[in-house]
Amino acid sequence: MKTNRNGILLLAGDGLSAFGSWIDFLAILTLAAYQFHVSPYQMAAVSAAGLLPGILAAPAIGRWCDRANPQRILLLSIMARVATTGAILFCRDYTVFIALVGLRSVFATVAPPAINVVAVRCIAPAERPRFYSVLNVLNNTAKVLAPAIGTVSSSLTSETVALGISLVFSAASACAFAFIRLSPAAEPSAAKPRPESIDPPNLLPLIWIGATCAFFIFTVNNLVPLVLEQSGFDKSLLGLLVSSSGAGNILAGLWLARRPA
């Protein structure tokens, strides 16, 4: 029962956090295009600020979550993300806006590794495959629904309301995470020596392919808000396009899962 309770709370917290994060992301793009009226180069700076700080900090964050109390780190990161999002609400200077987006990127990067460590410490090994399957469904659902909710609400009202909705989701996720009961961390087992005859796989081609795909994806992400704004389309269309992309990801994942290994 304890495992089920922890699993439900962890899934609820992750789903709410993912919704808040995606609404944040779309609201930031909408603010950049429709409030600051940025150029393509400035939009590239916004995207870089939203990605690079978190990517650079990810290895250190992962080690920190593994060594310290992941639940406390998770709660602190969500509260910091809420505070940063609140500051973005009142930001009117582009330079300060970029700095706040970079800070938000670092705080948002904490959630995935912290949630994984929490899952290891509070969910039985037999229950983890099912837990991660449901977690994947929740994250994909957030990719489909949250962008539409964020941009439609900002179109009908304002970006302030959209960011306010994301604050509510994030605060609710923090409440769910706060009620999880962690088990003590297990002592690390001695590492088994690997056979010397096995050569490590060459991951360089895979890294280049992933980097190339990411480059084109982020190029599209940068240009779509500007194209919509300069073409006179309503900003709600941005969320619908991102939601369609998320739905495509789900369909592609289902198709790949049905293929034989």
Residue ranges per structural domain of the chain: 2-193+205-258
CA gap 56, 36 in Å, rounded: 27
Burial (CB count <10 Å: 0-12, 13-18, 19+), residue 143:
buried
**What was the pLDDT predicted at 191?**
46
User: How far is Cα 69 from Cα 185, in angstroms, rounded to an integer?
Assistant: 9
User: What is the dotted CATH code of the domain comprising 2-193+205-258?
Assistant: 1.20.1250.20
pLDDT of residue 34: 79
Q: How far is CA 1 from the centre of its chain?
A: 29
pLDDT of the residue at 230: 78
In sequence order, which residues have a C-beta less than 8 Å from that of residue 102 and are 6 or more positions away?
49, 50, 52, 53
Candidates 235, 213, 89; CA nearest to 156 is: 235
pLDDT for 185:
52
List, for the chain, all residue ranges whose pLDDT scores fall below the cut of 70.
Answer: 1-3, 151, 154-155, 183-202, 218-219, 221-222, 235-236, 239, 245-246, 248-250, 252-261
**What gap in Å lies between CA 9 and CA 250, rounded to an integer?**
24
Contact 105, 49 (CB under 8 A): yes
Length in residues, the chain: 261
Q: What is the pLDDT of residues 118-154, one digit of tens each?
A: 988 888 888 888 888 888 888 878 877 887 777 677 6
pLDDT computed for residue 77 by the predictor: 92
pLDDT of residue 99: 94
Cα(181)–Cα(184) distance, rounded to whole angstroms? 10
**Cβ atoms of residues 28 and 88 within 8 Å:** yes
Could you tell me how many helices (H) and strands (E) the chain has, helices first? 9, 0
Query: What pLDDT is stored for residue 98 in this prediction?
Result: 93
Record the pTM.
0.75
C-alpha span between 158 and 248 (Å, rounded): 28
180 and 10 Cβ atoms separated by less than 8 Å: yes
